[in-house]
Structure 1
Amino acid sequence: MREAANTPDLASRLETWAGTDPVRLDVASTVNVLARACGEIALLIAAGPLAGAMGASLGADNGGGDVQKELDVRCDTIIREACKAAPVAALASEEADVAIPLDPEGRLLVAVDPLDGSSNIDTDVSVGTVFSIRLRPETGDPTADAAFLRPGREQLAAGYVVYGPHVALMLTIGEGVDLYVLDPARRRFMLVKAGVRVPEEAREFAINMSNYRHWDDRVRAYVDDLIAGRDGPRSNDYNMRWIASMVAEAHRIFMRGGIYLYPGDDRKGYAAGRLRLVYEAAPIGMLMEQSGGRASDGETNVLDLVPEKLHQRVPLIFGSRLKVERVERYLTSGWGHSERSPLFSNRGLLSA
């Protein structure tokens, strides 16, 4: 990959940002450690079946209650070992039941989903890593689960790495969102775009339509109006996307705009959706807000939600701000009647 002579790498950008501030220096050190770990994960993923049966189920549940795959565990180990070299008091991982104590003198806490979208491993579809960094509490045990049960607005940094045709890092340190790409020759993340903004207009939405029959009527109303296309209240045709990898969905939205929805539904265990507030919703929420987008549980900005437990799940809607706010109106104003044309007020998905 050829780079411009003046393209800075992640480490130098963080060094300039941190200056001599002790907290910023710790954040910079931790982001660098996580980036190196993700570079190692990228190599493992790129090896595919040559690295073994990475998509094999281990027959055990992780901390969030999902079945673990071999690659989930390998990625979790890589990140856990890497964080031992950072000023991190405790690590909360989607793959662990409880928070893991690390450096007793560490100033920071890290929450991570080591491998988002692992169901896609065998089909060679993009997967990713999501992380969140915050200060340890001033009182109480920093290694206890309770240390992580704070609103997402307290995050100091958040980001994700998507392992696709190229390996990309989307990062916020509270001053906008920057996009880096991994230089495979030197294994360093290079800045390719500073100040990323979520495009405001896009005719794309991401949702798993196979769950249509399980959704709340208000969610159906919103999706029906999109599917009605140019003949419906939106007066535009829309394309639907569904990758089953939240990080890949988020990256597409950063590049092209649109909206992603994973609502709760009436299936057992899905009333509150399936995505985790601490590991997934909060960091994605910070990235979205820092780039002009929005992330919500359908009523409330996810950054304002206070987790009640480490592996708490929440409905998650994120993307272009105006689109997310429109969905919130559907969900809070009663079936979205205020948004819909009378022609479609009683029309189902498959009706003529």
Structure 2
Amino acid sequence: MAKITTVQQHIAKQHEEFSEEGVTLGWLMGGLTLATKMIEAKIRSAGLTDVYGAFGAENVQGEQQQKLDVYANEALMDSLGARGSVAALVSEEDEAPVTFDRTIEKGKYIIVFDPLDGSSNIDVNVNVGTIFSVHQRLPAAEGTLAESILQPGTKQVAAGYVVYGPSTVLVYTTGHGVHAFTLDPTIGAFVLTAEHMKMPDKGPYYSVNEANAGTWPEGYEAYVTSLRTTGYSSRYIGSLVADFHRTLLKGGVFLYPPTKKQPGGKLRLLYEANPLAFIAEQAGGLASSGSGRILEIKPEGIHQRTPFMVGSKSEMEAFQKALYK
């Protein structure tokens, strides 16, 4: 019988020297994987049950909520909120953090997440995903719970995403490399399928919504033109998790530049850009806001937006040169 390694086992093994932290993170990840398995099952049956379409309300971002947005958010809130080590949960779908009356000694962690990234693509059966980030609560002498929520990305203790597609894959890091697990439906568990993943130093693809090119700041359009004219192929799905997952595996670059309409960028810093930047850096890639390292941005609000460029070392160094030549 082939030996399998689950997410919880993998985290515990990585933190053998810090067994308490490993057990706690494993327990948190157990809550997260439970919720994502519920989400995966609902997505898989979407055409057979009444979960396609709009919910009939807008979220705090002013975006039309899909029925699956609401379901995914509730699944994560219920599953993670039941974990006694959670002090606060922050979701794209909610205006304010959900906090729990737990002592600092007990409620040590804050989890921020985008419950269903790319949900507008659900109706046309395009890949979607869940993105998450974990922070440790600050000691009382160093900051309040609110200040703990607004820590820069360099302070993440774990981050990851789940991409729901032909197979359901979870990718995560705790700062000890990037690892992938695939959901085995026969046993209902995420099992290890790739360890210590590395983003290629150079890739064949660039990914960006070129329809916005005329509204990008100076430098971006010239950079994309240089990619197009030097043999790169364009790949743009319009689902952040799917576009990032391809970039992680194949290399290249993904760009979501600022535009005249959204000069501060569109993607959310805490639960989209930060976790993906953490994974990219752990895999040997780079992530930038166009004016600096994503992970060094000090958040000012839970739904703060940012430009986001991420990819292989070669393409990202060329990007920086194009912007600051």
TM range (shorter): over 0.9
Q: Residues 14-43 of structure 1, C-alpha deviation per residue, up to 9 Å, x if partnerless?
A: 232334532332222111211111111100
Verify the 8 A CA contact 2:81 2:89 in the aligned structure 1.
no
Aligned to 1:78: 75
Q: Which runs of 4+ in 1 moved over 4 A?
A: none
Aligned to 2:316: 324
Distance 1:64 1:305 in 2: 21
Aligned to 1:342: none
| Match of residue 247, structure 1, among 241, 259, 267 | 241
Distance 1:303 1:39 in 2: 29
Distance 1:17 1:259 in 2: 29
Amino acid at match of 1:331: L
Amino acid at match of 1:255: L
CA distance 1:103–1:290, shift in 2 (3 Å): farther
| Match of residue 28, structure 1, among 15, 22, 26 | 26
Aligned to 1:232: none
Alignment of 1:311-350 (within 5 A): 311-333=303-325
Give how far 1:323 is off.
Answer: 1.0
Give how far 1:103 is off.
Answer: 5.4
Aligned to 1:38: 36
Amino acid at match of 1:290: Q
1:184 and 2:185 are equivalent in the alignment: yes
Aligned to 1:336: none
User: Equivalent residue of 1:50, what SS?
Assistant: coil
Distance 1:15 1:250 in 2: 27
1:122 and 2:123 are equivalent in the alignment: yes
Distance 2:61 2:139 in 1: 27
Distance 1:63 1:25 in 2: 34
Amino acid at match of 1:117: G
Aligned to 1:339: none
Amino acid at match of 1:307: P
Alignment of 1:31-70 (within 5 A): 31-60=29-58, 62-70=59-67
Give how far 1:249 is off.
Answer: 0.6
Stretch deviating more after TM superposition (46-55 or 84-93):
46-55
Verify the 8 A CA contact 1:7 1:192 in the aligned structure 2.
no
Distance 2:264 2:55 in 1: 25
TM-score normalised by L of structure 1: 0.87
Distance 2:280 2:184 in 1: 25
Verify the 8 A CA contact 2:284 2:312 in the aligned structure 1.
yes
Stretch deviating more after TM superposition (94-103 or 173-182):
94-103
Alignment of 1:287-306 (within 5 A): 287-306=279-298
TM-score normalised by L of structure 2: 0.94
Distance 1:11 1:27 in 2: 8
May I ask how many residue pairs the two structures share in their alignment?
A: 318
Verify the 8 A CA contact 2:287 2:310 in the aligned structure 1.
yes
| Match of residue 88, structure 1, among 86, 89, 95 | 86
Give how far 1:215 is off.
Answer: 1.1
Give how far 1:141 is off.
Answer: 4.0
User: Equivalent residue of 1:21, what SS?
Assistant: helix
Aligned to 2:10: 13
Verify the 8 A CA contact 2:12 2:19 in the aligned structure 1.
no
Distance 1:64 1:136 in 2: 26
| Match of residue 309, structure 1, among 278, 295, 301 | 301
Distance 1:309 1:10 in 2: 31
Q: Residues 170-201 of structure 1, C-alpha deviation per residue, up to 9 Å, x if partnerless?
A: 11011000011000111100101100000112
User: Equivalent residue of 2:200, what SS?
Assistant: coil
Distance 2:221 2:291 in 1: 16
Distance 1:50 1:138 in 2: 48
Alignment of 1:172-251 (within 5 A): 172-227=173-228, 229=229, 236-251=230-245
Amino acid at match of 1:66: E
Distance 2:316 2:291 in 1: 10
CA distance 1:260–1:39, shift in 2 (3 Å): same
Segments of 5+ residues of structure 1 without an aligned counterpart are 230-235, 334-352
1:101 and 2:114 are equivalent in the alignment: no
Segments of 5+ residues of structure 2 without an aligned counterpart are none
Distance 1:102 1:183 in 2: 33
Q: Residues 91-117 of structure 1, C-alpha deviation per residue, up to 9 Å, x if partnerless?
A: 000000011013513110000000001
Distance 1:165 1:274 in 2: 28
Give how far 1:12 is off.
Answer: 1.8
Amino acid at match of 2:41: L
Larger C-alpha radius of gyration, 1 or 2?
1
